Structure 1
Amino acid sequence: MNRIIISASNDLATDQRIYRTCECFNEMGFEILLIGRHGKTVLPYDKHIKIRQFSLLFNKGFLFYADLNIRLFWKLLFTPKQMLLSNDLDTLLPNYLVSRLTSTPLIYDSHELFTEVPELISRKHIRSFWMKLEELIFPRLKNVITVNRKIADYYSAKYRVPVEVIRNVPIPYQNREQKSSNVNLKQKKIIYQGALNVGRGIELMIDAMKFLPNYQLNIIGEGDISHLLRQRVEDLGLNKQICFMGRLAPTQLKEQTKQSDVGLSLEEDLGLNYRYCLPNKVFDYIHGAIPVIVTDRPLLRNLVDTYKIGEVLVNRDPKKLASTIDHVVKNKNSYRDNLQVAATELNWNKEKIKLKKIVKNIK
């Protein structure tokens, strides 16, 4: 049996793209070894996926990445394998070196424009390091996948290599419109899921809650500005309306999504990564049968306009957001059929066919 080693730096328990990728390789008959760091969430993976997690000495910064990459290099080098898969730029170097040293095929999965994230744009020296690393390795890669066409075209034009698109869409939900019996019908629920980082529009969501007394905002995830957001809620006296739920396992996240009335994705235009974003949370909302409100970014607007599944927020004003939320929720039933169509067309059962084809063509 062929073995593939899949590596990532993020929390393995909450990255649904990695989980779906593992399931795809399992269906192809691969033995799977998933390597990453210890996270705070219980891993939901099946028994047929072997997991190796590093207990790192540092949680962030240069020393974190150095520690991870050194450990990853030696683990990859001395573990039997027939294929490697690197998730994002921060695991690419050890994967590339081991691939060259052992003549092992490598797939690179870029979940975003790594060097264009807001956290790096303002840190010139650190960004310069990652950009030089990407410029050194990327043109030498043969098998690259990413999450949408805009990012694929950007990389293809910059590095003159083919990049395939495997969209970050969910496995179809079961009982998409089923609601739990304890849902409080008097208080409508808004959901945001994803990283709590700069530029995600979470501050705008919080400020809008002042104008939505009959709504609850559930924020699911953690990130660099978690403490600042919690303090903002405290300062505004909105603790009873806004709930920080932390990181949830995928099954828990699905339940929270299905129990919500509307989902938000309000990324700011802070660099190319957010400008070309098409977050997986939007597809999760679709599969949870809830309408969406998205920021006015090209791919997000195109998705909403194509399927008529929600609204595009043009004016980033708390009162305008509040009125848009209220309008969408009051007209929630009008989006139901369109959400069903979108969920049928945008699902992992279709995307994994493309991934399997890519893998079969690797020499």
Structure 2
Amino acid sequence: MNNNKSNIHAGKTMLPQKAKRIFCTVTTDLTYDQRMIRICTSLAEAGYDVTLVGRQMKNSIPLAPQPFEQKRISCFVEKGKMFYAAYNFRLFFFLLFKKMDCIVSIDLDTILPCYFISRIKNIKRVYDAHELFCEMKEIATRPPIYATWKRIEKFAVPKFPHGYTVNQPIAGEFNKMYGVQYEVIRNIALVRTLPLQTKTEKFILYQGAVNEGRCFETLIPAMKLVDSKLIICGDGNFMEQARQLVAKNNLQQKVIFKGKITPAELRTITQQAYIGVTLFDDAGLSNYYSLANRFFDYLHAGIPQLCVNYPVYREINEQLPIAVLVDDTSTTNLARQLNNLLHNEVLHSELRANCLKAREIYNWQQESKKLVEFYNRLLAN
């Protein structure tokens, strides 16, 4: 199969003859989108005919078989305004000729084609909001870009009465801004058996998008004062600056970039880590109200983490302490807190034990029930 073109890669389960068809749309490379793999798998296992549509990139690897259909759309550009324009144009015409009962926009960057397709086909439409898109730092701090996305949001979101997001504060913001009542379906990892292993190295892990607003400006210099290595797994719009920070601080031997890796490889690395980091600055409401995927990925790997003291993380941590929460993300304080977690074996053991308990409370096996109930109600008729 030629992976350089837009192809459908399918590994489908047996479905009822008249299974409802759901199309989910993203701008990500599907291989690395663990959240959407979980969501689409749960819907497929519940009897829905699911197709996940994402992007084909120059360095995309072949898609792994999944219990739902996967479609990649390629564009002649891969970033910036031209990418979003080209991708939405191609997405609209791809969807126009497909039969479906429901169309789902995942975040704001595919909402316009989903809206127009739903009107043309007279089908249900759903907004799956992983974050407050316009309040991300890379958008909120750039007035012309913010104005464009905000116009799209004001036009489209009120027209999506059905939707869900990852926590109650974000749901509350959507209600306050647009009067929509979105449900809360958290993005939590599956409970998997943890292998018994001895950690051979006490390394610190950052996994996820290497984007603006993740405190790399202070975390990377802090590693000069930390008795460990930092492994960074991911890619994003701050990668070039992050590499420059490593070079500037002469940390090439202490800060290691792994780039994008598959979910299975990432789970292995996460389980081997000693500490995880979930850090955001406060230059954007989306960061302040975030509930990052990595927060639960660290928890499920049984590793304590250094995390910002923002409302949703604090609420979970107050119920069962699994992290050291910080208000101060300065270089000096991050180094101090990381060294304490590295050397305070009593604290580390307590947090790890709580992580293992919390796995039984916070997991996708429980959360996915709300997802399936949502679509069962929506598509009952």
TM-score, length-scaled by structure 1: 0.94
User: For residue 187 of structure 2, what is the aligned residue in structure 1?
Assistant: 168
Q: Which residue of 2 aligns with 1:238?
A: 251
Matches within 5 A, 1:76-225: 76-175=95-194, 178-179=196-197, 184-185=200-201, 188-212=202-226, 214-225=227-238
- Structure 1 residues 350 and 72: CA distance shift in structure 2, 3 A: same
For residues 224-259 of structure 1, the C-alpha deviation after alignment (integer angstroms, 9 at most, x for no partner) is 121111121112111111100101111111111100
Residue 7 of structure 2 corresponds to which residue in structure 1? none
Counterpart-to-counterpart distance in 1, 2:248 and 2:66 = 45
Separation (CA, whole Å) in 2 of partners of 1:47 and 1:287:
22
1:290-334 residue CA offsets vs partner (Å, 9 max, x unmatched): 001111222222222321112112222323212211222333212
CA distance in 2, matches of 1:243, 1:65: 31
Equivalent pair of 1:83/1:106 in contact (CA under 8 Å): yes
Matched residue, 1:62 = 81
Following TM superposition, by how much is the alpha carbon of 1:173 offset from its aligned partner in structure 2, in angstroms?
2.3
Does the 8 A contact of 2:41 with 2:67 survive in 1? no
| Corresponding letter in the other structure for 2:51 | L
Corresponding residue for 1:7?
Answer: 25
Q: Confirm or deny: 8 A CA contact 1:195 1:223 kept in the other structure.
A: yes
Tell me: CA distance 1:254–1:44, structure 2 relative to 1, closer, same or farther (3 Å).
farther
* Amino acid of the structure 1 residue aligned with 2:148: F
Contact 1:293 1:313 in 2 (8 A): yes
Q: State the alpha-carbon separation in 2 of the partners of residues 82 and 201 from structure 1.
A: 42
What stretches of structure 1 of length at least 5 have no aligned partner? Answer: none
Gaps of 5+ in 2: 1-18
1:17 aligns with 2:17: no
Residues 178 and 258, structure 1, Cα contact 8 Å, conserved in 2: no
1:41–1:249 CA contact under 8 A, matched in 2: no
Q: Which 10-residue stretch deviates more, 6-15 or 252-261?
A: 6-15
- For residue 353 of structure 1, what is the amino acid of its counterpart? K
What is the rounded CA distance, in whole Å, between the counterparts of 1:162 and 1:43 in structure 2? 38
Change (3 A) 1:43 1:265: farther
Task: Determine helix, strand or coil for the equivalent of 2:193.
Answer: coil
Q: Who is 2:367 aligned against?
A: 351
- Matches of 2:317 and 2:219, distance apart in 1: 19
- 2:8 is aligned to none
For 2:272, which of 243, 248, 259 is the aligned residue?
Answer: 259
Q: Which one is further off, 274-283 or 294-303?
A: 294-303
From 337, 340, 359, give the equivalent of 2:353: 337
Q: What is the CA–CA distance in structure 2 between the aligned matches of 1:236 and 1:129, rounded to whole Å?
A: 37
1:178-211: CA deviations, max 9, x gaps?
33x6x534xx110011111111012222111111
Q: Residues of 2 paired with 1:64 and 1:52: CA distance?
A: 17
Secondary structure, aligned partner of 1:13? helix
Contact 1:191 1:257 in 2 (8 A): yes
The answer to whether the 8 A contact 1:19-1:45 is kept is: no
1:249 aligns with 2:249: no
Maintained 8 Å contact 1:171/1:348: yes
Which runs of 4 or more aligned residues in structure 1 lie more than 6 Å from their structure 2 counterparts after TM superposition? none
Check whether the contact 1:309–1:335 (CA below 8 A) recurs between aligned residues: yes
What letter corresponds to residue 202 of structure 1 in structure 2?
F
CA–CA distance in structure 2, aligned partners of residues 167 and 34 of structure 1 = 19
Distance 1:47 1:114 in 2: 28
Report whether the alignment pairs 1:53 with 2:69. no
Partner of 1:362: 378
- SS of residue matched to 2:229: strand
Give the letter for the 2:188 counterpart: V
Q: CA deviation at 1:45?
A: 4.0
Distance 1:172 1:123 in 2: 39
The whole-number CA distance in structure 2 between the counterparts of 1:317 and 1:41 is: 36
Query: Which one-letter code corresponds to 2:71 in the other structure?
Result: R
Alignment of 1:280-319 (within 5 A): 280-319=293-332
What is the distance in 2 between the residues matched to 1:351 and 1:43?
Answer: 29
CA RMSD of aligned residues (A): 1.5
Residue identity in the other structure for 1:348: W
* Structure 2: distance between partners of 1:351 and 1:47: 20
Equivalent pair of 2:166/2:184 in contact (CA under 8 Å): yes
Alpha carbons 1:152, 1:164 under 8 Å: kept: yes
Residue identity in the other structure for 2:52:
L
Q: Which secondary structure state, in structure 1, belongs to the residue aligned with residue 359 of structure 2?
A: helix
- Pick closer, same or farther for the CA change 1:47–1:279 going to 2, 3 Å: closer
Cα offset, 1:43, TM superposition: 5.3
